[in-house]
Structure 1
Amino acid sequence: MDDEKPPPNQGQFRLPDPALVTRTMSEVAERGQRIVSDFLKRQSEGGGPGANPDPLNIGSAFLEMTARMMSNPTRLVQAQLGFWQDYLTLWQNTARRMMGEQVAPVISEDSRDRRFKDEAWRENEVFDFIRQSYLLSARFFQSVAANVDGMDEKTAQKVDFYTRQFVDAMSPSNFLLTNPEVLRKTAETGGENLLKGLSHLLNDLERGKGRLRIRMTDDAKFRVGENIAVSPGKVVYQNDLMQLIQYAPATETVLKRPLLVFPPWINKFYILDLRPKNSFVRWAVEQGHTVFMASWVNPDERLADKGFDDYMREGVYAALDAVEKATGEKGVNAIGYCLGGTLLATTLAHMAAKGDDRIKAATYFVTMTDFSEAGELGVFIDEEQLRGLEAKMQQRGYLEGREMATTFNMLRANDLIWSFVVNNYLLGQEPFPFDLLYWNDDSTRMPARMHSFYLRRMYQQNDLVKPGAIELLGQPIDLRKIKVPTYMISTLEDHIAPWKSTYRGTQVFGGPIRFVLAASGHIAGVVNPPESGKYSHWINEQLPPDPDQWFAAATELAGSWWPDWQRWITAQSKGRVPARVPGDGALPAIEDAPGSYVKVMATD
């Protein structure tokens, strides 16, 4: 009996539960048939025989790249020689490592790249070879794509972007047999991680009605108005496009001038009120502001004809009228976040043309007004793609929220796509409950008329920065006429509103301007409460035309920029009055904050 072999599940590798396998495969068959049916139905509704097989217009960009490259193959041959020399060195180093020698890596990943955080990528010779081989190939592909002569700027940008998308997708960390962490998990669980991952994949396909909608967080753990967006207040006004929330005071007296906030309607407002510990709303109320927040509607086909001018009329102007009724104050301080800031600047130029001075000071969070260098979002904006997008919006009356969300996720594909593919589908783990990712997944739709105007007139044609090129509500728009004191906060690693693009506003607006640059990105750099101790910021009182010159002379300060803004805004808001209670003024309370508009989901 001593020679008897142990059962196969007694070693490191454990066989999966047969009942679990049977149950899972049965579910796969049943659910898979339903998913395919839903997908085919959506395809027939959305395209038909004449649908564009290349809606992103990628093929023509890479055809042009290939033609340019073949016309002068010398550079390609040089790049290939360098690549093969590095590859030969890697082979030699790997052989030496297997013989017990210590050798330096041929190439290393960026310190911020978390795909290869598992120690096996460095400690095991085979996985170290796979990792470095991938990094060398990635560098080769990206270098070749970035150094093709003769391509126009837009085509070069598109080739570079989609080359990186391909390179990221091909990472060995994304595949079962080349990811040591996944292999270890598979051995430990007997493959049950893969069965769970398959179930997660089916769930996500069902959520997307045949299209993959990756679950980034445990959304069952969050309820808007219950454990996120919980700052107390009342909805005091509403119309077709927005609800206006007035937040309850936290101090006995408040600054005389109310604070009116316009978030983007590409996302929901509660990014500024996620949890009490990181809520800009809560913090501003505690500093003595009477805070009003626009909560935009999640539009459907009934609002297809709402345009940018409607967001001015029913958004900014309606809110100014409502704030005056609620508080008796004619003048306000205003904040605009991203697209909300673009709306604020446009309306301020319109108000300047009419002699309307109700907005006394303006703050812009990561806001572009000059779109000449729009960053990687420009990849998605060319004539072919715009026509295809407009055709879709004409059918539905709006842009689907998931389409916009997918675009933003592609800007950070490793963090917002592939890391979840590995965690959810290969490791078979449940996503972690994270409020920011819940908000990111709570997408919104865009009215067809407004979105077409925004993409064409601002992103594609850059008309907003051209004096008089755009006319809205009967007035030519000229940003140079804006003379109110201005505070601009941008972020160093912003992929959506690149800081050097937002900085251009300092050379356009009139009046005194303070420009501050925060560390991190579009969200984390803005939502950075002082208590967190995270992310520094840079200040420079001078505003030279060149943003690099501004940065070179800027002073880096530790911690959040919020206190700097508070000192600035307080200087614009002299005088205090007794605290204002929502609903006690001329506008009665309609419902409790955060209101009903924010609870409408794009899937409803």
Structure 2
Amino acid sequence: MTRLDHAFSEQVTDPVAWDRLLHALMGRMTGGISPTALQLAFFDWAGHLALNPGRQGALQEKALRKALRLAAYSGHCLADDEQTRCIEPLPDDQRFEAPAWGNWPFSFIHQAFLLQQQWWHVATTGVPGVNPHHEEVVNFTVRQMLDMVSPSNFLPTNPEVLERTVNERGANLVRGGSNWLEDVQRELAGRPQASDEDYQVGRDLAVTPGKVVHRNALMELIQYEPTTNTVHPEPVLIVPAWIMKYYILDLQPGRSLIEYLVGQGHTVFVVSWKNPGPEDRGMGMADYRRLGVNDPLDVVNHIVPDQKVHGVGYCLGGTLLTLAAAAMARDGDDRLATLSLLATQTDFTEPGELDLFIDESQVSFLEDVMWARGYLGRDRMAGAFHLLRSQDLVWSRMIRHYLMGERDSTFDLMAWNADATRLPYRMHSEYLRSLFLHNDLVEGRYDIGGQPVSVADIDIPIFSVATQKDHIAPWHSVYKITRLARTDVTFLLTRGGHNAGIVSEPGHPRRHYQIRHFKPLEPTYPAERFERETPQQEGSWWPAWQDWLAQRSGQAVAPPSLGAPSQGYAPDVEAPGEYVLMP
């Protein structure tokens, strides 16, 4: 019996189970972060730093130089001399942009903080002998601690908040206190924030007309009603990530990728994942592939017979679809016409800052946290993503809500982001270990049906989309598909982040993209060269992708019927269905 099998069969009477219960309790206090993983990282860094006295001396010298620079700057400020700041914030750091930060003593306060931040970056990086992963963890953790004590976070040291407080005679603090109390009450009650209630699924979001035509234990399959007299013969099957509600691709009218595809004459199907509970703890990657890709594909083949299917995967849904496509290619199953991957990684050697939370210690600890509940809660995932962008998603939000007394105006993407899902214990453990931790797909160890699969087996055209500011699937990592695949690959890099870059409808301001076609076995084309030499095109990437799909589709035909009642796939409830509404 393997260790993983044992994890699903042990009883609480087993001594190991008591250890797991302890870890689960600790996980509630640490947000799912393994204390041991942090200890190992800091011991590694501190131990190697202690054995490098030359490095210690250089750090002391650097600290002294920074102190002298700060003293000179402070003297000029007190004398009212025009003085260039001794250090500038990082390009994406907007905390100290207001002119008031240039006035004494706030000029001294924020410059001292930035100098300290720079010193700690130097201190935690480049220490000889430190494991690279441990170095990243230490640097990230120290950065989070510094962000926590930033002078912008406190009333006495934030000139913008002080000015607002004086002008409003403290009314902003009264509103902020009321906002805090309301947020605490909603958090305890498990209710969404007030701003998120402005958008309701089925009323404001996910309103493209369609029907649920099939349902199984993990997903509902939605087929959308045609809006054109004729359609491309090949249907489109969309597999979103199981960590998100599918309507990221069906936001408000005009901002819906599904609506756009339907309007361009495509017959569109989408998988809507069930929000799993404790009863689904044993669902694994094989179940998600079988019930979330193979089963929907069979249904689509019955509703639109004798036609190949354009497969589309988003984020982890794209990874799952890639696994299925590789197995189909290996087994001679040619039902897919093309494969489109949106912000999808297949090689996980460079997964970005999410790698900070993935090592053996962390995964083992997280398995114990999930074991107690049967799933990974939305709070754990949201916490990890918020940590990656704590300045924007945590501290600046707290300043606006609780010190300034303001409330953010919500929008469709924000409302969707608050509607997170859970992940079954077994599936998430297998995913983290097989793909994230061990990179089994690229290393040739990922087995389906008792035989390994390979991206190189896929022989249909691939369209891969990456976004420039993606912190979940960094574009350099997504770009590796051009090297792994041995088929025609069209790679497109667009402006934006993991979600906003994909939701990039025509007419969206300040959007541009770069696109290049790669032929099979073409010599390696480094990512840096792609970015440097590929012409930039203005506008949304959606039309470019639609043209690519149309070129690989047949002559227009009459739209198929909704569902196939004679095959047992009768249209059921209206889109968006029932699973997406599950709390």
Q: Given the superposition, is the C-alpha separation of residues 217 and 133 from structure 1 closer, same or farther in structure 2, using an over 3 Å criterion?
A: farther
Q: Does 1:460 align with 2:460?
A: no
Moved more, 380-389 or 289-298: 380-389
Q: Does 1:186 align with 2:162?
A: no
**In the alignment, what sits opposite 1:36?**
none
Q: Distance in 2 between matches of 1:287 and 1:513?
A: 23
Q: Distance in 1 between matches of 2:51 and 2:88?
A: 33
Decide whether the 8 Å contact of 1:258 with 1:329 is kept in 2.
no
**In the alignment, what sits opposite 1:10?**
none
Which of 424, 434, 439 aligns to 1:447? It is: 424
**In the alignment, what sits opposite 1:562?**
542
**In the alignment, what sits opposite 1:294?**
271
**In the alignment, what sits opposite 1:126?**
105
Q: Distance in 2 between matches of 1:309 and 1:156?
A: 35
Q: Distance in 1 between matches of 2:191 and 2:76?
A: 42
Deviation string, structure 1 residues 332-370 (Cα, Å, up to 9, x no partner): 101100100000100011111221111110000111111
Q: Distance in 2 between matches of 1:288 and 1:116?
A: 49
**In the alignment, what sits opposite 1:477?**
453
Q: Given the superposition, is the C-alpha separation of residues 166 and 329 from structure 1 closer, same or farther in structure 2, using an over 3 Å criterion?
A: farther
What TM-score do you get using the length of structure 2 for normalisation? 0.90
Structure 2 unaligned segments of length 5 or more: list them: 1-20
Q: SS at 2:517's partner residue?
A: coil
Which of 483, 487, 507 aligns to 2:483? It is: 507
Which of 122, 132, 145 aligns to 2:124? It is: 145
Q: Given the superposition, is the C-alpha separation of residues 46 and 465 from structure 1 closer, same or farther in structure 2, using an over 3 Å criterion?
A: closer
Deviation string, structure 1 residues 274-328 (Cα, Å, up to 9, x no partner): 1112211111111111111100000001111111111111111111111122223
Moved over 4 A (4+): 43-46, 48-54, 213-217, 583-586
**In the alignment, what sits opposite 1:409?**
386
Which of 242, 251, 257 aligns to 2:228? It is: 251
**In the alignment, what sits opposite 2:463?**
487
Q: SS at 2:337's partner residue?
A: strand
Q: Given the superposition, is the C-alpha separation of residues 49 and 553 from structure 1 closer, same or farther in structure 2, using an over 3 Å criterion?
A: closer
Deviation string, structure 1 residues 12-51 (Cα, Å, up to 9, x no partner): xxxxxxxxxxxxxxxxxxxxxxxxxxxxxxx999527999
Shift of 1:202: 3.4
Q: Does 1:224 align with 2:206?
A: no
What TM-score do you get using the length of structure 1 for normalisation? 0.87
Shift of 1:530: 1.7
Q: Given the superposition, is the C-alpha separation of residues 597 and 329 from structure 1 closer, same or farther in structure 2, using an over 3 Å criterion?
A: farther
Decide whether the 8 Å contact of 1:276 with 1:282 is kept in 2.
yes
Shift of 1:118: 2.5
**In the alignment, what sits opposite 2:509?**
533
Decide whether the 8 Å contact of 1:470 with 1:476 is kept in 2.
yes
Q: Distance in 2 between matches of 1:49 and 1:366?
A: 30
Q: Distance in 2 between matches of 1:268 and 1:163?
A: 33
Q: SS at 1:261's partner residue?
A: strand
Matched letter for residue 508 of structure 1: L
**In the alignment, what sits opposite 1:34?**
none
Q: Distance in 2 between matches of 1:104 and 1:214?
A: 48
Q: SS at 1:244's partner residue?
A: strand
Q: Distance in 1 between matches of 2:430 and 2:27?
A: 28
Decide whether the 8 Å contact of 1:257 with 1:329 is kept in 2.
no
Matches for 1:426-441 after TM superposition, within 5 Å: 426-441=403-418
Q: Given the superposition, is the C-alpha separation of residues 49 and 200 from structure 1 closer, same or farther in structure 2, using an over 3 Å criterion?
A: closer
Q: Does 1:75 align with 2:55?
A: yes
**In the alignment, what sits opposite 1:31?**
none
Q: Does 1:395 align with 2:368?
A: no
Q: Given the superposition, is the C-alpha separation of residues 180 and 50 from structure 1 closer, same or farther in structure 2, using an over 3 Å criterion?
A: closer
Moved more, 368-377 or 332-341: 368-377
Deviation string, structure 1 residues 234-259 (Cα, Å, up to 9, x no partner): 11111111011111222111111011
Which of 242, 246, 262 aligns to 1:285? It is: 262
Q: Given the superposition, is the C-alpha separation of residues 76 and 203 from structure 1 closer, same or farther in structure 2, using an over 3 Å criterion?
A: farther
Decide whether the 8 Å contact of 1:299 with 1:447 is kept in 2.
yes
Matched letter for residue 593 of structure 1: A
Q: Does 1:420 align with 2:393?
A: no
**In the alignment, what sits opposite 1:47?**
25
Structure 1 unaligned segments of length 5 or more: list them: 1-42
Matched letter for residue 273 of structure 2: W
Moved more, 257-266 or 161-170: 161-170
Q: Does 1:271 align with 2:251?
A: no
Moved more, 438-447 or 577-586: 577-586
Q: Distance in 2 between matches of 1:364 and 1:45?
A: 37
Deviation string, structure 1 residues 400-427 (Cα, Å, up to 9, x no partner): 1110111111111111111111111222
Deviation string, structure 1 residues 384-403 (Cα, Å, up to 9, x no partner): 21111111222211111110
Decide whether the 8 Å contact of 2:125 with 2:139 is kept in 1.
yes
Q: Does 1:238 align with 2:215?
A: yes
Matched letter for residue 575 of structure 2: A
Deviation string, structure 1 residues 129-177 (Cα, Å, up to 9, x no partner): 2222211111111121112111112111111211221222222111111
Decide whether the 8 Å contact of 2:151 with 2:157 is kept in 1.
yes
Decide whether the 8 Å contact of 2:374 with 2:424 is kept in 1.
yes
Q: Distance in 1 between matches of 2:575 and 2:391?
A: 36
Matched letter for residue 536 of structure 1: H
Matched letter for residue 190 of structure 1: R
Q: Distance in 1 between matches of 2:47 and 2:526?
A: 36
Q: Does 1:520 align with 2:502?
A: no
Decide whether the 8 Å contact of 1:216 with 1:431 is kept in 2.
no
Shift of 1:125: 2.5
Shift of 1:515: 1.0
Q: Distance in 1 between matches of 2:465 and 2:26?
A: 46
Moved more, 192-201 or 527-536: 192-201
Q: Does 1:314 align with 2:294?
A: no
Number of residues paired by the alignment?
555
Q: Distance in 1 between matches of 2:345 and 2:181?
A: 39
CA RMSD of aligned residues (A): 2.4
**In the alignment, what sits opposite 2:10?**
none
Decide whether the 8 Å contact of 1:494 with 1:521 is kept in 2.
yes
Which of 579, 586, 592 aligns to 2:559? It is: 579
Decide whether the 8 Å contact of 1:534 with 1:560 is kept in 2.
no
Matched letter for residue 596 of structure 1: E
Shift of 1:103: 1.3
Shift of 1:374: 1.4
Decide whether the 8 Å contact of 1:366 with 1:488 is kept in 2.
yes
Q: What is the percentage of aligned positions where both structures have the same residue?
A: 38
Q: Distance in 1 between matches of 2:192 and 2:132?
A: 35
Matches for 1:19-168 after TM superposition, within 5 Å: 46-47=24-25, 55-56=34-35, 57-122=37-102, 124-168=103-147
Q: SS at 2:254's partner residue?
A: helix
